[in-house]
Copies of this chain bind each other. A is one copy, B any other.
Amino acid sequence: MRKYNVAVLGVSGAVGRMMLRVLEEREFPIGTFKLLASSRSAGKGVMFRGEEYYIEETTRDSFRGMDIVLGAVESDIARVYKEDIVKSGAIFIDNSSAFRLEKDVPLVVPQINGDDLCTHTQIIANPNCVTIIALMAVAPLHKEYTIKRMIVSTYQAVSGAGNEGIEALREQVIDPTIYSPIFPYPIAYNVIPQIGSFTEDHQTSEEIKLQREGSKILHAPIEVDCTCVRIPVYTSHSMSIVVEFEKQVDIEYVREILTKSEGVVVWDDVESNKYPMPILTSDQDKVYVGRIRKSRIENGVSLFVCGDQLRKGAATNAVEIAEELVNRGIL
């Protein structure tokens, strides 16, 4: 079997570390393996498949000879190295928001729009975590009923803000007065209805992603009202979603479609209090859907959706994109 030279860019962050775990678990066929980060982490040893690898400081030459670069850095860093990665000949699967909406950059959730990979020009974007988790639940229904509108309220975990977010919650549950710069207010015993920065129309940068990225992934203009809220949970984003479809909905068939959907688990039984929750869905690659019921909106369905945003919402989806490139013979 062919092996691929893989670099992980930004390996010391929460998503980068998870990429290593996912690559290991899924036995991705790796030849040369490079762990790249800033000078702060350079030299640190990391165990991978029983061997010790050392983190290298990223330079413009770091990508030579690589087939795949998995990006787990912020947008500004992704932009810095983009040209170097492309010149090296590697495919850049980037988790940042830098290139997601660019016309020639496929934005891909393999279970939904893997076909879009065929037209790549070396940069492939991994969608936002809320987008991936929400779409895993609604895209299979979109095929059947066509989404008109979605109203989404999120319950987002602190690890979505990386290691510092985790640390802030860990400290603040003991002493809520401990200051952390990662969130605008204390997060322990609190909720913060702001993720990202505010836009001109009083939405946040996080809230507009589902609308824009969702429309691109589904190749259909969907209307989204989204309210993104940070809550004191370590891992797994939850979402309360009301979807309005173009066509009349059969709720039993909704259940059937979702039950058959790859990567989705229907966890929904009111008799035995089964519904998705962070403690159930964390450290798993599947997206869980429950509380499936008719909405009072015409052709509407209510769902409660929950998934590990570091895994399917980030690292797992990126590795699945790499697998899809291999399976389709693109790489």
- The interface of chain A, by Cβ under 8 A from chain B, is 149, 151, 153, 155, 173, 176, 184-186, 189-194, 198, 201-203, 223-225, 227, 229, 231-234, 238, 240, 242, 270-271, 273, 275-279, 290-297, 300, 302, 304
Contact = CB atoms under 8 A, between A and B. Distances in A.
Contacts of A242: 151, 225
A219 to B, nearest CB: 19
Given A191-B238, A193-B291, A233-B190, A277 B225 contact: no
Contacts of A189: 232-234, 278-279
Contacts of A277: 185, 190-193
Count copies of this chain in the complex.
Answer: 2
B186 A279 contact: yes
A191 B294 CA distance: 22
Given A231-B231, A232-B232, A297 B225 contact: yes
A294 to B, nearest CB: 7
A68 to B, nearest CB: 34
B184 A296 contact: no
Given A151-B297, A184-B273, A225-B242, 12 more contacts: A151-B151, A151-B242, A189-B232, A189-B233, A191-B231, A193-B277, A193-B291, A202-B270, A224-B296, A225-B297, A227-B304, A232-B232
B223 A229 contact: no
A291 B233 contact: no
17 contacts: A149-B297, A155-B191, A185-B273, A189-B232, A189-B279, A190-B233, A192-B277, A193-B240, A193-B276, A193-B291, A198-B271, A202-B292, A224-B296, A225-B297, A227-B302, A229-B240, A240-B240
Most B-side CB within 10 Å, residue of A176, A273, A276, A300 = A273
A287 to B, nearest CB: 15
Contacts of A232: 189, 231-233
A265 to B, nearest CB: 15
A151 B173 CA distance: 31
B275 A193 contact: yes
Contacts of A271: 198
Contact of A302 (B225, B240, B291): B225
Nearest to A186: B279
Given A151-B151, A193-B240, A242-B151, A270 B198 contact: yes
Contacts of A302: 225, 227
Most B-side CB within 10 Å, residue of A151, A176, A297 = A151
A292 B227 CA distance: 11
